[in-house]
């Protein structure tokens, strides 16, 4: 049996009947993760802010999928600790965050308080549990001190950030390391804190402001040209299911590995992190969109906010220790992304059923089937 098959088999058993809390369950990644966990037989509990959009993936999956949901802010420590104390989870996926670079310039204090103090609250709430509870601590590839060189950052490279968002993610990583070393390493319950860092993700159901694919969608639906400010900016783009697959594999495998193995943090990204500038991403979206649109206009903004022009991450450690591999190459990822939005907006389909089918397609692709 190859490593990929073993990983898929491990997911079938790792989450069944487990109590799993997802913070940020109303968000793009959190909702997709919650849906997949539910399909794997987990008892899924969610805590997060109200959804930003009534169109997003969360609107397709909410309701009976969750055993219980709590609309709350992770900065409310007593409330979060009380919720986890009541649930007594086996696993926490911590995704709740202020996730937008440009918003961090508008309100840096909100970004810092959510991404740093909110994350500390979640870890402290887990620490208060008198049982084994592992934490998958989700940050970002932007936590690295980015020198904008043609180099894929590894997990032991220096952390840092010039913009408020990147700084907050680097600081959140330091919080995770501090709690891990101070409270979780060698604790009596064997609980682990595993930091996972992913690049930019695409996929159906994202409607956030100031994100590339939602901007493409809005332009396509309005039949207006999309104006792009940084066409040469390069990021490690991957489908949201590839990213979540990494989170799930880490959660399933790491607790069984000996403490001598370095499992503190893992990068997840595409096989080739250097390949896709914004120009290719946007043009690929409109190439896949079935209706005629004006397409893309590249007009770099004169006073763009400072944002890294180049970023790539190495996935060698996840490949070596977890046996994880990305499944959908970029063009397939884009086709699956566009098909989700077309199914919703052009065909008015059943998005819960369609989203479940995309997860099943992904699993079949991981097994080597053509989908």
Do 167 and 161 contact (CB within 8 A), yes or no?
yes
- What pLDDT score was predicted for residue 1? 46
Q: How many CB atoms lie within 10 A of CB 189?
A: 13
In a domain, 297, yes or no: no
Number of folded domains that form the chain: 1
Give, to the nearest 10 degrees, the angle between helix 119-127 and helix 164-179.
10
Alpha-carbon distance values, 300 to 106, 208, 233, 278, 306 (Å): 20, 21, 11, 12, 13
**Residue keyed to tokens 């999309």:** 226
**Residue 118, number of CB atoms within 10 A of its CB:** 25
Structural domain contains residue 277:
no
Residue at 355 is within a domain: no
- Alpha helices, DSSP H, located in 28-163: 28-39, 57-61, 77-87, 101-106, 108-112, 119-127
**Residue 65 in domain:** yes
Q: For the chain (length 371 residues), average pLDDT per consecutive 10?
A: 69 94 97 98 97 91 91 97 98 94 90 97 97 97 88 94 93 97 90 95 93 94 89 90 97 93 96 86 95 80 59 94 95 98 96 97 90 72
Residue 78 lies in a domain: yes
Q: Would you say residue 16 lies in a domain?
A: yes
Query: What is the rounded distance in angstroms from the CA atom of residue 309 to the CA atom of residue 332?
Result: 25
134-138/201-202 β-pairing: unpaired
CATH number, position 81 = 3.40.50.720
The pTM is what? 0.95
> Do 281 and 237 form a contact (C-beta atoms < 8 A)?
yes
Which of 81, 99, 95, 92 has its CA nearest to residue 132?
92
pLDDT for residue 209: 84
Does residue 142 sit within a domain? Answer: yes
Residue 51 phi, psi dihedral angles, 5° rounding = -65, 145
Asked if the structure places residue 197 within a domain, the reply is yes
CA distance 137 to 124: 13
> What is the domain range of residue 186?
3-206+237-269+306-329
């Amino acid at each position: 049996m190859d490593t990929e098959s073993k990983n898929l088999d491990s997911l079938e058993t790792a989450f069944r009947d487990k109590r799993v809390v997802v913070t940020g369950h109303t968000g793009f990644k959190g909702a997709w993760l919650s849906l997949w966990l539910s399909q794997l037989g987990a008892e899924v509990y969610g805590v997060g802010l109200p959804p930003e959009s009534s169109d997003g993936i969360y609107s397709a999956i909410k309701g009976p999928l969750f055993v219980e949901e709590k609309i709350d802010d992770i900065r409310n420590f007593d409330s979060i600790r009380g919720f986890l104390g009541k649930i007594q989870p086996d696993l926490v996926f911590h995704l709740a965050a202020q996730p937008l670079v440009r918003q961090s310039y508008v309100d840096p204090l909100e970004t810092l308080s959510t991404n740093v103090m909110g994350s500390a609250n979640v870890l402290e709430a887990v620490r208060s549990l008198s049982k084994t509870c592992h934490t998958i601590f989700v940050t970002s590839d932007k936590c690295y001190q980015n020198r904008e060189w043609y180099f894929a950052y590894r997990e032991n490279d220096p952390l840092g950030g010039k913009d408020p968002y990147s700084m907050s993610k680097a600081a959140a990583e330091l919080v995770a390391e501090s709690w891990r070393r101070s409270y979780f390493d060698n604790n009596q319950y064997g609980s682990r804190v595993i930091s996972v860092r992913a690049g930019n993700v695409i996929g159906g159901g994202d409607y956030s402001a100031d994100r590339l694919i939602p901007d493409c969608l809005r332009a396509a639906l309005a039949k207006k040209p999309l104006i792009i400010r940084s066409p040469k900016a390069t990021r490690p783009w991957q489908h949201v299911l590839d990213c979540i697959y990494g989170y799930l594999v880490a959660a399933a495998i790491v607790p069984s590995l000996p403490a001598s193995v370095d499992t503190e943090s893992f990068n997840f990204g595409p096989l080739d992190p250097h390949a896709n500038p914004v120009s290719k991403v946007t043009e690929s979206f409109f190439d896949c969109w079935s209706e005629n649109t004006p397409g893309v206009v590249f007009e770099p903004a004169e006073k763009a906010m400072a944002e890294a022009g180049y970023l790539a991450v190495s996935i060698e450690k996840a490949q070596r220790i977890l046996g994880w591999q990305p499944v959908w190459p970029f063009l397939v990822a884009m086709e699956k992304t566009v098909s989700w939005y077309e199914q919703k907006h052009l065909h008015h389909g059943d998005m819960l059923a369609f989203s479940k089918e995309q997860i099943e397609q992904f699993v079949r692709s991981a097994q080597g089937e053509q989908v």
